């Protein structure tokens, strides 16, 4: 079965993200390396790193992803926020290297009132600075977003514009979020929709691969541009939609991470079992 897991909490130490994922019988995991909604970051202690490596070996995790801070906006019209976003992105990459994690997922930016040309120029300028300063091993996965107002990365042509020129090292691929794609107008619930998506991807993003799938159902309608996640099978994509999506050869064998609503770990357990059942019907 393909690698599958959930986004877990690092409360109590970054190594506990792996402990939580293991308890949920996950074979892949994603976490925030610090609170994603504050600029203040905490440094990870050496013993935490050690325990992280120990657990990683013990549980045999091969597919580990860091999701970067939600505050990062690499095209912010506010110079100070743009500068902080660049520093934060570099910080996320450093933590990834410290932990031996290969990929850091990022939502590249929101134009916040600027024209799309201005926003694109700014984002590429920020990435150029990061590219020049980053000498480590970890790299970025650009995540497709829902297309909410000012959102600059909801389609492959736009993501391609952002990524061009940074493929050798910094940008290592794409994180494909199913809810965001559906909300942005990619119909991933039909074979025709998936065929169109694949040809657009191949046309605009040659040399790039989808390295991670965020498997989320959507609480918002198709092409609504609203970013709302839902439990697998309970949203507008639905079980039938996921059956079609998960059997698409283009997306086969790519690790799946669920970012579905979570009040308790039981929610994760339920969503994981729904997906495993669907995969069992397909694989």
User: Which residues are at the interface with Zn ion (CB under 5 A)?
Assistant: 143, 177, 214
Closer to Zn ion by Cβ: residue 48 or 241: 241
CA 282 distance to own-chain centroid: 24
The C-alpha atoms of residue 10 and residue 25 are separated, in whole angstroms, by 17
**105: nearest Cα among 72, 57, 152:** 72
Residue 151 or residue 177: which is nearer to Zn ion going by CB?
Answer: 177
* Closest CB to Zn ion among residues 143, 230: 143
**Closest approach of Cβ 217 to Zn ion, in Å?**
12
Alpha carbon distance 238, 199 (integer Å): 24
Residue number with CB closer to Zn ion (72 or 274): 72
Which residue's Cβ lies closest to Zn ion? Answer: 214
Residue 55 or 140 with smaller CB distance to Zn ion: 140
> What is the per-residue DSSP string for 156-211?
HHHHHHHHTT-TTTTEEEEEEEHHHHHHTT--TTSHHHHHHHHHHHHHH-TT--EE
Among 136, 88, 82, 91, CA closest to 109: 82
In the complex, least distance from residue 177 CB atom to Zn ion, rounded to whole angstroms: 4
Separation of alpha carbons 204 and 196, rounded Å: 12
Q: Give 14 or 257: the residue with its C-beta nearer to Zn ion.
A: 257
Return the structure tokens found at 198: 């694949």
Give the chain's radius of gyration (CA, Å).
18
| Helix, strand, or coil (residue 267) | helix
Find the shortest distance in angstroms from Cβ 223 to Zn ion: 18
Query: Where would I find the H helices in 33-185?
Result: 46-59, 79-99, 116-133, 156-163, 178-183
> Which of 261, 262, 258, 274 has its CA nearest to residue 228?
261
Which is closer to Zn ion, CB of 48 or CB of 144?
Answer: 144
């Amino acid at each position: 079965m393909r690698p599958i897991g959930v986004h877990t909490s690092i409360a109590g130490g970054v190594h506990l993200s792996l402990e939580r994922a293991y308890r949920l019988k996950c074979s892949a995991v994603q976490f925030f390396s610090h609170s994603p909604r504050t600029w203040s970051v905490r440094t990870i202690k050496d013993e935490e790193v050690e325990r992280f490596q120990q657990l990683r070996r013990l549980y045999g995790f091969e597919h580990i992803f860091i999701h970067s801070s939600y505050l990062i906006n690499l095209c912010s019209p506010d110079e100070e926020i743009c500068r902080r976003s660049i520093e934060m992105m570099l910080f996320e990459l450093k933590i990834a290297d410290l932990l031996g994690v290969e990929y850091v997922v990022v939502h590249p930016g929101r134009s916040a009132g600027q024209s799309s040309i201005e926003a694109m120029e700014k984002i590429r300028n920020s990435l150029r600075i990061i590219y020049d300063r980053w000498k480590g091993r970890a790299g970025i996965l650009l995540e497709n977003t829902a297309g909410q107002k000012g959102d600059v990365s909801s389609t492959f042509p736009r993501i391609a514009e952002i990524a061009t020129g940074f493929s050798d090292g910094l940008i290592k691929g794409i994180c494909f979020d199913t809810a965001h794609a559906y909300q942005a107008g990619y119909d991933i619930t039909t074979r025709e929709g998936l065929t169109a998506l694949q040809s657009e991807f191949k046309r605009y993003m040659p040399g790039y691969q989808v390295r991670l799938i965020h498997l989320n159902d959507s609480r918002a309608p198709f092409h609504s541009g609203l970013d709302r996640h839902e439990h697998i099978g309970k949203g507008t994509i639905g079980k039938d939609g996921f059956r079609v999506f998960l059997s698409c050869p283009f997306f086969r064998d790519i690790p799946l991470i669920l970012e579905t609503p979570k009040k308790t770990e039981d929610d994760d357990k339920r969503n994981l079992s729904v997906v495993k059942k669907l995969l069992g019907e397909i694989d």
